[in-house]
Structure 1
Amino acid sequence: MSDKTGEATQQLTAGCLQFNIAMGDVEGNLQKVRDGLQALARQGGRLAVLPEMWSCGFDYRNLATLAAHTPQVVETVAALSARHDMVVIGSLPELDGDALYNTSYLVDRGVVRGRYRKLHLFSPMREDRYLQAGSKTLVADTSVGRIGLAICYDLRFPELFRRLTLDGADVICLSAQWPKPRRDHWCVLTRARAIENQVFVLAANCCGVQGKLDFFGSSMILSPRGEVLAEAKDQPCEVLATLDKQAQRDYRAAIPAWHDRRPDVYGVLT
C-alpha cells in the first residue's frame, strides 16, 4: 500500500458505498456515487467499492441502450477518483460489439487500471440469457496495494478467490446485488473467503426494492481473520474501516496456511 506521495504505508482507509439502485436511471445513480465518494473522501477514504450494475440495475430490456452510457460513466468516475485521490471499483454493463458483459472497472486516481468481466453468471435470474461470461481473472497493482476483483455470484466459487490470492491480491473487492432470501449465505461466504485466503474483503451490496427483489444491504469490510471491521445496515450509507497490512503479514506468519499447503497432492490451485 502507498500513501498520497507514493511512500509505503501500513494502513489504508477503505469503504463501500451502499445505495438503492434506481432501475435505468444512469444520471440519478451517478449522482449518488458523486455524493458517496465525496463523503468517503472527507473521512480519508482512499479505496471505494460500489455495488453491482450500479449505474442502471439489471434493466434487461434496455440494457444495450444503457450500456452505451458506460464509457461516459467511467470517464466521470475517473475524474472523481482523480479529484479525491482514490481508487474506485464497481460493476457496470459493458457493450463490446453485440455482446453485453457485467464488468467491474478498477479506476486508480483517474486511470482505468483494469476491468474484470463477471465469470459466473447467475442463471436462476436469467443473467446468462442476456449477458456473456468473462474468461479472465484480474489482479492489479494500484496506488493502495494489489487488488483482486469479483462480482456477486462469484462469491460462491472459492476457486476464483484462491486464484486471485495466488496471484498476489492482498485485498479482494466484490460488487454485488444480493437479495434478502440469501442474507445468511452472504454473511458466511464473505467471512469464509477472507479467512481461507487471509485477505481483506470489501463487499459492497445494494439496498432497497427493485421490482420483486428486496435487497438487505449489509455491505461489509472483513479482515484476513474474518473479523467484520465494518458493516452497513439496510439503508443507503457509506461504511469505512482501516486495513492494517502489517497485521495481515503478522497473521499470515502466525497461521502459515500458505506455507503448509499441499499442491503436490491436490493440485496447484485447489
Structure 2
Amino acid sequence: MRLALAQIDVEGGQVAANRERAADAIAAAADRGADVVALPEIFNVGYFAFETYQRNAEPLSGPTLSRVSDLAAEHDVGVLAGSIVEDLEATSADDPDADPPAEEGLANTSVFFDRDGRRQAVYRKHHLFGYESAETELLVPGESLGLAEFDGATVGMTTCYDLRFPELYRSIAEAGATLVFVPSAWPYPRVEHWQVLSRARAIENQFFLATVNGAGSFDDATLLGRSTVFDPWGTTLASTDDEPDLVVTDIDVDRVEGVREEFPAWHDRRR
C-alpha cells in the first residue's frame, strides 16, 4: 500500500483556497501512485482560526467533504479528510445514520472515503485541546472509534492532541487496526513531543502510524510540519520538514503480525 501525507499550507479562514490546495495534493498523490491520501486537521478552515469556526462549519454532506468524496472517486484513491469543523445539528438533519455525539454544537470531524468516494468511517476528535486553545469552548468531543477497512488494512483514525492519551490507541489496536492516521495542527515549539509521542504510539501498539500535520502560520501559532510514517518498530519510513510537501512511502500491513510474533510484547500484555 502506498501512503501519501498531504502537508499542505493552511491559511486561517481561507476555505476556498485551502480546499484547492487539498484537491491539488490529492491529484499529485494519485499521480505518484498513492493508494490512500491523508489531509491535516481542519485543513479547510485552519485549526487556529477559532473565530471562523461557526460560520465555516458544515454537515458531513457539506461542500468540503462532498468535494473530497468526488476527488477520491475521480482519482481512484482512498482519502482521509483530515478533519473539518462539523455542524452536528445540520448533520443530524441531513443524515440520521451519522450518529453524532450531540444534537447540536460543533465537532472536529475526520472522514475516511474509499476509492469510490463512499464514506467508510467517521471520527470525531475525543480529546479537545484546552492549553492556549479555544477548542474546548467551541467543540463537542466524540464518543466512538473511527475504523475503516481499506485494501487489506484496518485503518484507525485519531486527531492531534489524542496522541497524548495512549489508552485510545490501545483501544484502536485491540479493535484490529494495523494502520493509524493522526491528522494534526501541531505547532512550534513542541517538536520533541510530536516526534516522541508518535513514535511511542507505534512502538507500544506495534502498528503503522502516519502523522499528517499542516504547514503555515496563524496570528499566534506556526505549524511545525514534520509529517511522518512510522513502522511497527517505530522506525521512520518517510518524513519531511515544516514546509508544504507530499510525503509518500510504501507499507506492507502484513508486517504488523510478523513484528508482533517476532517481539511478542503485544501477546504478553496483562489486562
Please report the TM-score for the alignment, with normalisation by the length of structure 1.
0.90
- Rounded to whole Å, the distance in 1 between the matches of 2:52 and 2:236 is 37
- Rounded to whole Å, the distance in 2 between the matches of 1:61 and 1:242 is 39
Which residue of the partner structure matches residue 254 of structure 2?
246
Query: Map of 1:79-228 to 2, 5 A cutoff?
Result: 79-89=70-80, 90-97=82-89, 98-109=104-115, 110-124=117-131, 125-228=133-236
- Rounded to whole Å, the distance in 2 between the matches of 1:55 and 1:117 is 16
Q: Is the 8 A contact 2:59 2:86 kept in 1?
A: no
Superposition RMSD in Å: 1.3
Amino acid at match of 2:235: E
Aligned with 1:60 (options 47, 50, 54): 50
Give the match's secondary structure for 1:210. Answer: coil
Which is strand-richer, 1 or 2? 1
1:220 positional shift: 0.4
Q: Is the 8 A contact 1:87 1:143 kept in 2?
A: no
1:69 positional shift: 7.4
Aligned with 1:78 (options 69, 75, 93): 69
Residues 157-215 of structure 1: per-residue CA shift (max 9 Å, x gap) = 00000000000000001110001111100000110000100110110001121111011
- Rounded to whole Å, the distance in 1 between the matches of 2:261 and 2:184 is 31
- Rounded to whole Å, the distance in 1 between the matches of 2:255 and 2:153 is 15
1:144 positional shift: 4.9
Q: Taking every aligned residue pair, what percent have the same amino acid on both sides?
A: 35
Amino acid at match of 2:108: N
What residue ranges of structure 2 are gaps of 5+ in the alignment? 90-103
Which residue of the partner structure matches residue 242 of structure 2?
234
Q: Is the 8 A contact 2:11 2:217 kept in 1?
A: no
What residue ranges of structure 1 are gaps of 5+ in the alignment? 1-11, 264-270
Give the match's secondary structure for 1:207. Answer: coil
1:139 positional shift: 1.6
- Rounded to whole Å, the distance in 2 between the matches of 1:185 and 1:54 is 21
Aligned with 2:268 (options 250, 260, 269): 260
- Rounded to whole Å, the distance in 2 between the matches of 1:210 and 1:66 is 17
- Rounded to whole Å, the distance in 2 between the matches of 1:53 and 1:94 is 10
Give the match's secondary structure for 1:216. Answer: coil
- Rounded to whole Å, the distance in 2 between the matches of 1:152 and 1:252 is 26
Residues 122-159 of structure 1: per-residue CA shift (max 9 Å, x gap) = 01112100111111112222235210100000000000
Please report the TM-score for the alignment, with normalisation by the length of structure 2.
0.90
Aligned with 2:26 (options 2, 24, 37): 37
1:25 aligns with 2:44: no
- Rounded to whole Å, the distance in 1 between the matches of 2:168 and 2:59 is 29
Q: Is the 8 A contact 1:151 1:176 kept in 2?
A: yes
Q: Is the 8 A contact 2:59 2:88 kept in 1?
A: no
Q: Is the 8 A contact 2:50 2:134 kept in 1?
A: no
